[in-house]
Amino acid sequence: MDFHLRLAHWVRTHPGTLDACLALVICVFLILPFATTGAQDYAGVVAVSVAVVLPLVWRRSRVLLSAGIIAGISVVQLLLGIEPVPAQFVVLISLYTLAAYGPRWASLGGLALALVGAAVGLVRYAELFGLGGTASALASVPLYLIVLFLAEALVLLAWTMGDLARARRRTYQALEDRTRRLEVERQQERDLAAADERSHIAREMHDIVAHSLSVIITQADGARYASAQAPELAVQTLGTIADTGRGSLREMRRLLGVLRGDETASTRPLPTLDDVDSLLQSVRHSGVRVACRRIGTPRGRLPLGAELTAYRVVQESLTNVLKHAGAHTTTEVTLEYGARGLAITIDDDGRGAAPDPVTAGAGQGIVGMTERVRLYDGTVSAAPRMGGGYRVEAFIPYTQA
C-alpha cells in the first residue's frame, strides 16, 4: 500500500489521536511562548488561548460541545472587550469541523454566527486592525469593507472545505456500504451457484449409478437362478453385468474428471434422444420387454440440455421399472413430437405403486426428474394407472426463437 493511502487510513482510524496532536502543536507554537515569559501581562492571553484550544481534543468525538465552548468564549470576548489572541484562529478549525461532522442545522448556525461575529469583531477591534485612529469614519469605510471581505472569505472558505469534507466522507461511506453489499451478494450468488451445482451433480450421479446398479442387480439375480439350469445363459448374463459396470465406471470417471477440472477427462458428448435405443437395449438384457414408438417429427429445436433431460426421464422411468415393477413386465416408451414440444410417455404393466421392500426410500428420482424438466419450462406427472401398472408423462416445449 502506498504511503499516502496508509496515512489516509491512519487518519480515518485514529481521529482522537490526531486531534490531540493538533491541540498540542498549537499549544507549543502559540501558547508556550507567552507562558514562558513569566510576565503578568500575558496571563490573560494564556488563559484565553488554553480555553479555546483545549476543546479541539474532542472536536470530532463531541462536535457540538467543542464548537459550543469555542463559540461561547469568542462571544464572551466580544462582550467584555477582551482582545483576540493568536490562537483565536481555531474558530476556523471549529467551523470546519462543525460543517464536516456536525448536524446540518448546527453547521448553518455556526456559519451564520461566524459571519456575524467577524463583522462585529472588526467593528469592536477596529483600532487593532488599523481601521480607526485620526482618519475620518468615511475614509476608513473602504478599508473596512476590504478587511471585512477578507475575513468573511476566510470564514466561508473554512465552512466550504468542511462541507466538502462531509460530502466526500458520505460518498466514501456509501461506496464502502455498496462494496459490502456487493460482497454479500457475490457470496450469496456463489453459494446459490454451488448449491445448484451440487444438485446438478447429485442428479447426474443418481441417474448414472441408480440405473446401472438396477440393471446389475437384476442381471445378477437372473444369473444366480440360471446358473443351475442354464450355465450358458448365466455366462451371457455375467457379460451383460460386466459391460454395464464398465459403462457406469466410464460415466463416473468422466463426471469426476469434470469436477476435478481435469483437462484430460473424457469429453464424450452427453446422451441425447439418439441414445435412447442403446438404453432400451441394456434394459432388455435385464429381462424387461421394452418397446419404443416415435411419433411425428420435430417442429422446433430442442436444446442439447433438453435432449439430455428427455434421455434422463426415460432412463429414470426404466430404472423405476427395474426396481419396482416386478418380473415379466412389459414397458412401452412413446416419444411424440407435437406442435408445441416433445411429449414423453412411459407405460408399464407392473405392480404400479406397490412398495418394494428392497428399495425403501425411493422417490428421489421422480423429484430429480421434475427439477430437470422444470428448467426447460416443462411438466412431469407420475402416477399408477387404472387397472394396474404405472405411467410417467413428461412434456418439454420447443425453444422459443
- Identify the CA nearest to 202 among candidates 255, 261, 240: 255
Q: Please check the confidence at residue 203 and state whether its pLDDT lies above 60.
A: yes
| Dihedral, 112, 115, 121, 127 alpha carbons, nearest 10 | -170
- Phi–psi pair at 55, nearest 5 degrees: -65, -15
The three cell numbers of residue 252 are 463416473
**Which has more pLDDT, 267 or 203?**
203
Q: What is the DSSP-derived secondary structure letter of residue 400? A: P
The three cell numbers of residue 282 are 441394456
pLDDT of residue 190: 80
pTM of the complete model beyond 0.85: no
Q: What DSSP letter does each residue of 148-176 carry, written as one string?
A: HHHHHHHHHHHHHHHHHHHHHHHHHHHHH
58-72, 175-189, 291-305: least confident range:
291-305
Q: Please check the confidence at residue 126 and state whether its pLDDT lies above 60.
A: yes
Interatomic CA distance for residues 77 and 52, integer angstroms: 11
Mean pLDDT throughout 69-78? 90
Mean pLDDT throughout 156-162? 94
SS3 for 229?
helix
pLDDT of residue 204: 67
Mean pLDDT throughout 199-203? 68
pLDDT band for 393, please (50, 70, 90 cuts).
very high
pLDDT band for 108, please (50, 70, 90 cuts).
very high
Max Cα separation, the chain? 140
pLDDT band for 360, please (50, 70, 90 cuts).
very low
Domains and CATH numbers, the chain: 3-184 (no CATH), 271-401 (3.30.565.10)
350: number of Cβ within 10 Å:
22
Mean pLDDT throughout 304-308? 81
pLDDT in tens, 243-267: 777 777 766 666 666 565 554 444 5
Interatomic CA distance for residues 226 and 229, integer angstroms: 5
Ramachandran quadrant class, 389 (left: phi over 0; alpha: psi -120 to 50; beta: rest): left
